[in-house]
Amino acid sequence: MIIRNGNVFQEDGTYRRMDLYVENGRIVDCGTEVSEKEEIDAAGLKVLPGLVDIHSHGAVGHDFSDADATGLKEILRYEKSQGITSYCPTSMTLPIDMLIRIFASADAVKPDADCARIVGLNMEGPFLDPVKKGAHVEKYIRKPDIDFFRECQKASGGRIRVVTVAPNMEGAETFIRELKDDVVISIGHTDADYDCAASAMKSGAHHVTHLYNAMNDMGHRAPGVVCAAADDPECMVEMIGDGIHIDPAVVRNTFRMFGEERIVLISDSMMAAGMANGFYELGGQKVTVKDRKAVLEDGTIAGSATSLYECMRCVIAMGVPERAAVFAATRNPARSIGIYDEVGSLVPGKKADIVLADEKLNIVKVI
């Protein structure tokens, strides 16, 4: 396949008018390497790398935590239609027997060109702090437990790429030191202060789960997880860019504080993404969705009802430079879970995960 004359997003963040050559699902150097001569006229269109959502629970009426491979396939189909080509299904806080079934269910999903590719699994619970449980069920929360994690990792076939840990819980330090080379350890759902978070980062946790949400605010005498993450040059931070979870001024200034390299936009979507307002479920709890806002019965925000692509457009509308927003939805998430050699930018050798969009970033085609 040859994609002609598009404005192709480059690794330096500029757009360059050029042809893109695809052979056997990968980008290649030149036209002579292309056997299938299908051509797409991309004149006037933006050509972006497929997006990488490393934190999403569900969409179109299904949740990864349903442990249902058919439902997961529908989620992946929806995500691909929205420009997300790499995806990490994300679990909620649940008992171990359920988590084992959930992680095993991902294995039953076979790759499909119409669906986003599963590039890892994200284990958000149960090693959280009850004080900052957010929309997770308190009775299933557990202290960080290496054997518990290993059992889940085994059931998943080694596909868990990210695990959230509250660093102020007993056993967190040992957990981080023991597992830091096997999985990305993400600090989150925690009442930790700056010193506790900074110490966890020194031990090897260089990722933060939805910065600002389910943690203490950054105060001028209580800098918290936010400043600890900013002070750790290796730390990547997730942000939910749906326009509901974080005020636009905070989003803009967080991009300034962390720069273009370290922010990972996520959707944190639940099953109402791609659906109408109404009543849904998340981790066994009833959720009401109205005007794209998902809440539990007590008003706690319970994930988002949008896609990563919409989050990317949303933060651009807030005033984040387009190149920074594209990096945060493509390159940075890919780097954060160690798959940037395969996806996340459009250079020869990488998978041909491509979004064609018009000037206003409306999706025209996803490849």
Ligand X SMILES: CC(=O)N[C@@H]1[C@@H](O)[C@H](O)[C@@H](COP(=O)(O)O)O[C@@H]1O
Return d(Cα 133, Cα 125) in angstroms, integer.
Answer: 9
End-to-end CA distance of the chain: 11
Does 318 help bind ligand X (rule: CB under 6 A)? Answer: no
Could you say whether residue 303 binds ligand X (CB under 6 A)?
yes
From CA 336, how far away is CA 314, in angstroms rounded? 22
Of the pair 193, 342, the CB lying nearest ligand X is at 193
Which of residues 217 and 341 has its CB atom nearest to ligand X in the complex? 217
| Binding of residue 94 to ligand X (CB under 6 A) | no
Q: How many CB atoms lie within 10 A of CB 50?
A: 27
Q: Which residues contact 83 (CB under 8 A, 6 or more apart)?
A: 48, 50, 51, 307, 308, 309, 355, 357, 363, 366
Distances (CA, A) of 148 to 138, 225, 241: 17, 25, 32
Q: List the one residue from 10, 199, 288, 300 that touches ligand X (CB under 6 A).
A: 300
86 binds ligand X (CB under 6 A): no
Q: Two tokens at 6? A: 């598009």
Q: Which is nearer to ligand X, 49 or 303 (CB)?
A: 303
**What does the DSSP assignment read for 170-210?**
TTHHHHHHHHTTTSEEEE-SB---HHHHHHHHHHT--EESS
Tell which one of 136, 207, 335, 350 touches ligand X (CB under 6 A): 136
Q: How far apart are CA 111 and CA 86, in angstroms?
A: 11
Residue nearest to ligand X (CB): 134
Cross-strand partners of 320:
none
Looking at the Cβ atoms of 191 and 353, the one nearer to ligand X is 191
Q: Which is nearer to ligand X, 50 or 120 (CB)?
A: 120
- HSE-up of 346 (CA within 13 Å, CB side)? 29
- Which position among 62, 245, 262, 350 is part of the footprint of ligand X (CB under 6 A)? 245
Q: Which residues are catalytic?
A: 268
Asked if 59 is part of the footprint of ligand X (rule: CB under 6 A), the reply reads no
Pull the structure tokens for residue 64.
């990864």
Taking CB under 6 A as the rule, does residue 268 contact ligand X?
A: yes
Stretch that binds ligand X, among 162-170, 177-185, 192-200, 295-303 (CB under 6 A): 295-303
Contact between 55 and ligand X by CB under 6 A: the answer reads no
CB of 66 to ligand X, least distance (A): 15
**Six-digit token string for 170:** 């007993």
Using CB under 6 A as the binding criterion, the count of chain residues that bind ligand X stands at: 13
**Applying CB under 6 A, does 301 fall inside the site for ligand X?**
yes
* Residue in the structure block whose two tokens are 């919409």: 310
Q: Which of 134, 167, 224, 333 binds ligand X (CB under 6 A)?
A: 134
Is 81 a binding residue for ligand X by CB under 6 A? The answer is: no
Part in contact with ligand X (CB under 6 A); list of ranges 15-23, 131-139, 171-179, 252-260: 131-139
Cβ neighbours around 13 below 10 Å, total:
14
Contact residue for ligand X among 115, 214, 287, 366 (CB under 6 A):
214
Binding stretches for ligand X (CB under 6 A): 57, 134-136, 210, 213-214, 245, 268, 300-303
